[in-house]
Amino acid sequence: MIVDLPGTTVAKVSRELVRLRAEGGVVALGRVLTLVISTAGGAEEEAISAANDASREHPMRVLVVVHEPGGPTAAPRLDAQIRVGGDAGASEVVVLRVAGPVGADEESLITGLLLPDAPVVAWWPGAAVPDVVAASPLGRIAQRRITDASAQPDPQRALEHLAATYRPGDSDFAWTRLTLWRAVLAAALDQPPYEPIEAVEVSGAADSPSTELLAAWLRLALDVPVTVVLSDRSTGSSGIHGVRLRRASGTVDLERAVPDVATLSQPGQPTQDVSLPRRSLRDCLAEELRRLDPDDLLGQVLTEGLPGLDRGLAGTATATGGS
C-alpha cells in the first residue's frame, strides 16, 4: 500500500502512520531499528529497494529524506509518501521529499518519526555526504553512520577524508565489500605450511577505495611491507584485482580475473576456483545492520593502516610494515 501526502507536515505524517496501524493492522512491533537515508532527488529508489530487501533480515522503519533540486533558496515544501505491506518488504517506508529550508535540519525533520527506544542508523548512499558525518544533524542521533567512498566523484580523496574525520560508529561500504576477500585470505593462511609472510602485493583499479583498505588491513594484520599496484580503469576491470602473499616456500595468489570467481594458487596444492562475487548494495547494507556497535577494526585500518600507504596511478607504491 502506498499513501501520498502532498504539501504536508511531519505531524500529519505521524498521524497517518498511527491511522494505518489502527485500521490496517500495520504495526511497529518487531521493528528493531530506524534506518534514515539521506539522498538527492532521483537517486532514492535504488536505496529504498536495498533497504526493503535488507529489512527481511532486519525489520525496521525506513525514513528517506529526499532533497529536491533548488537548494535552501527554493520554495519550502514537504511532500510525503508512506509505503507499507508488499511495497515496503518487512519494513515501513516513509519518503519525505523536501525543498528549500525545510530540509536544512534533518534531525528536527525526522525526530517525530523515529521508533521509540530503537537504535538509529544513518546512511548516505550517494555523493551528497556531510563534511563530518558524525557532526551532521543525522550523524548526531545515529549509532552507526554509513557512507560509500566509491560513490564519490574522487573515491581516493573521499577515503582520505573519512580517515581524517573518523569517529567511532562511522562505516563505509568500501570496507564492507572486503568481507569475502578477508575471509578467503584468512582461510588460506590457516593452512600449512605455517610460515611467516614476508611481503604482500595488492592490485586493483585506481578508483577502488576497497583496494587500499585491503592493503591497509593486511599491513596491520601481518606487519609486513605492502605494495599497492593501481591501474587505470581503461586498462582493466574495476575493484580489487588480486592479492599476492610472499613467503619462503613460494607465493599465495588470489586473483579475480573474471567477475564473481577468483583463482587461489598455493605451493604444493591444486589451484582452486573460489566464489568471490561483487557484493550488492543489499548485501552490504544487511551486513552493516548486523552490528550497531563501533567497528574498532575499521577505525584502526583507517587511522593507522591507511596513512602509511603511498599510491600512484598505473604504477606501484610501497608501504612499510605496521607500527
Q: Where are the beta strands (DSSP E) in the chain?
A: 2-5, 33-40, 60-67, 77-83, 92-99, 120-123, 144-147, 170-172, 199-205, 226-231, 240-247, 250-258, 261-265, 272-275, 315-319
pLDDT digits (tens, 9 = 90+) for 99-131: 988 888 899 999 999 998 999 999 999 898 999
Q: Is 112 helix (H, G, I), strand (E, B) or coil?
A: helix
Cβ-proximal residues to 186 (8 Å cutoff; 6+ apart), any chain = none
Mean pLDDT score, 213-239: 84
Q: Is 251 helix (H, G, I), strand (E, B) or coil?
A: strand
Between 3.30.1490, 1.10.20, 3.30.360, 2.60.120, what CATH number should domain 179-319 receive? 3.30.360
151-165, 229-243, 246-260, 267-281: least confidently modelled range: 229-243
Contact 62, 51 (CB under 8 A): yes
* pLDDT at position 16: 93
**Confidence label for 20 from pLDDT (cuts 50, 70 and 90):** confident
Q: Is 273 helix (H, G, I), strand (E, B) or coil?
A: strand
Cβ-proximal residues to 272 (8 Å cutoff; 6+ apart), any chain = 263, 264
* pLDDT at position 236: 54
Residue spans of the domains in the chain: they are: 2-147, 179-319
108-122, 193-207, 233-247, 308-322: least confidently modelled range: 308-322
Q: Please state, in angstroms and as integers, the Cα–Cα distance from residue 66 to each residue in 96, 118, 249, 286, 300, following that order.
A: 6, 23, 56, 22, 33
**Confidence label for 162 from pLDDT (cuts 50, 70 and 90):** very high
pTM value? Answer: 0.90
* pLDDT at position 21: 80
pLDDT digits (tens, 9 = 90+) for 185-202: 999 998 888 899 999 999
The single residue listed with the C-alpha cell 532527488 is: 41
